[in-house]
């Protein structure tokens, strides 16, 4: 009887370990440490002495100051445009991408673009942490935007 309880305990422990391992599996192409807080980027943009990252708008939302507009990267031609633009860049260049069209879980643009950066072997890429949208997480804080032309 004791041996059966012992075996059952071992099996339960193994199953629990497997369940925890699968629940911790990363499903996003970025790691948590690759998210950049909006305030951090705003400070960099506003500091004339700081080294600026390459900031890329990969969606239809507004243009953050100093950002390059690629267009919505769920569209293959814009993802190709992003790849072409990034090809000559050094792989350790700091790159910050953002969309801001909608909450992260619904965004069709951030995953293909971040995956492309990974596939191209970049090592210093960040995703601007805009969990709600550009207006709520950037504009409402009066962080710098490109003036409308």
Q: What is the pLDDT of residue 134?
A: 96
* DSSP letter (8 states) at residue 49: T
Q: Name all contacts of 78-84 with Cβ < 8 Å and 24+ positions apart.
A: 79/112, 79/113, 79/116, 82/56, 82/58, 82/113, 82/116, 83/116, 83/120
- Give the global pTM: 0.82
Burial degree of 63 (CB within 10 A; 0-12, 13-18, 19+): middle
| Separation of alpha carbons 98 and 91, rounded Å | 19
Residue bearing tokens 């939302």: 61
pLDDT higher than 50, residue 149: no
Q: What are the tens digits of pLDDT across the range 40-92?
A: 999 999 999 999 999 999 999 889 999 999 999 999 999 999 999 999 999 99
CATH topology assigned to domain 29-141: Oxidized Rhodanese; domain 1 (3.40.250)
Structural domain spans, the chain: 29-141
Query: Considering only CA atoms, which of 78, 67, 76, 77 is closest in space to residue 100?
Result: 67
């Amino acid at each position: 009887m004791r041996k059966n309880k012992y075996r059952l305990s071992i099996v339960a422990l193994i199953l629990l370990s497997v369940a925890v391992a699968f629940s911790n599996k990363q499903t996003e192409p970025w790691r948590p440490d690759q998210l950049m807080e909006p305030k951090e980027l705003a400070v960099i943009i506003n500091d004339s002495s700081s080294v600026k990252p390459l900031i890329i708008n990969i969606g239809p939302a507004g243009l953050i100051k100093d950002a390059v507009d690629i267009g919505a990267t769920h569209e293959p031609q814009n993802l190709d445009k992003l790849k072409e633009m990034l090809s000559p860049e050094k792989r350790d260049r700091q790159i910050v991408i953002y969309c801001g069209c909608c909450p992260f879980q619904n965004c069709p643009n951030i995953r293909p673009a971040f995956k492309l950066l990974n596939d191209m072997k970049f090592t210093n890429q960040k995703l601007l942490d805009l969990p709600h949208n550009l207006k709520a997480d950037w504009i409402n804080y009066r962080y710098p935007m490109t003036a409308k032309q």
